[in-house]
Structure 1
């Protein structure tokens, strides 16, 4: 793993830190490769149930490294996962963004790839690509209208201006707003609450929430049955019922 992406675990939680604070954690190829490897580890390691992505040095991420793009034509995309090793194929397991400072351009698109967002009150979010002659093509234009009303998504995309975290929370983009410096701590608290639940049921719930946006009305319940059939037959479902009846904490095995 490159030093530009740092990993550590807190129990069943994988914390991924973009570590280029001198450039506000702008994404270069090394970062994209590091994040892609981290997402593979999160999905592939049964001991990991939840992921958190954050940035070092008081900022989340300022987007693509424009110097590398301008002078070398480098776009930090990974085959199969897209920009930043994440945006086209987020992990199957829950991923939380812990945001301090700037989360703009590709950095905001990383946030939009996550399932939950914890932000400092002094954080800010935006898609300024149009100010640089670019388009927010790492999922921002497609995901943003599913998070906020279309008119507000248009405003952010066409003006290219950033909004403060307080406004982002009012619009529904942020789950938890915290004091500066506390975003990662609060994200860990959320991750541990998710981790207390059955991991297979959590991952399947995320899958249905994400996938069902494109399901036709007439097929929704059948497609949901296909996804949930394995849950009803799982050992964890039996354990959950037994733990409830016996008034004890469930012990999940993930199958």
Structure 2
């Protein structure tokens, strides 16, 4: 057994079975958020890293392949239940400095301040504008391996984020995170994949609104963006843009030059 798999076994000890959990990935050792998804099933642990630049996956344990179809893990609704307030002036200024989003931009999307965690609270909306999940992002980490972003789903949906006002164009820019989508949405309709995966179900939902997809994933996922663009040419006109940084971290003027 690989040393990294020993770490995964230790991480899984206290976790319940039958539900996917995100933990620290001992392969890529990305410290900004937990990207290794693991599922316990009896004596077996299945794992896969969601980072495109890592992609580690495998199975630990003695369980073989069962001839009986396994049930889909039960969906367990989760919500962010801690206190929320309006965005303090200092936080609004920090977000503007880092990401170029104004207070009006954030208020329009329902952003709040998670007081206890010192984090930005961002609602996740589905294609119908229904609030389906809570995304909480730390602006500053308290310790190196602290999770930077946590997403809690309280409705079983397609795990896509449609910012308010994202359905005005037939072209859609697909990005990874909520802040990426909100920023690009100032220029063109944008939807966040909340990762780097685009399923059949998600693609069909997007086709109801858009005829063209522009994949603008983070620099470490550009190979994945190319694969997705090729995969979905059967449904959309697709293209890929290669960005020098995450969309949220680029100046708006630079994004204008790319997309307009």
TM-score range for the pair, normalised by the shorter chain length: under 0.3
Normalised TM-score (structure 1): 0.28
Normalised TM-score (structure 2): 0.27
Bigger relative CO (Cα 8 Å, ≥ 6 apart): 1
Q: Between Structure 1 and Structure 2, which shows a larger proportion of helix residues?
A: 1
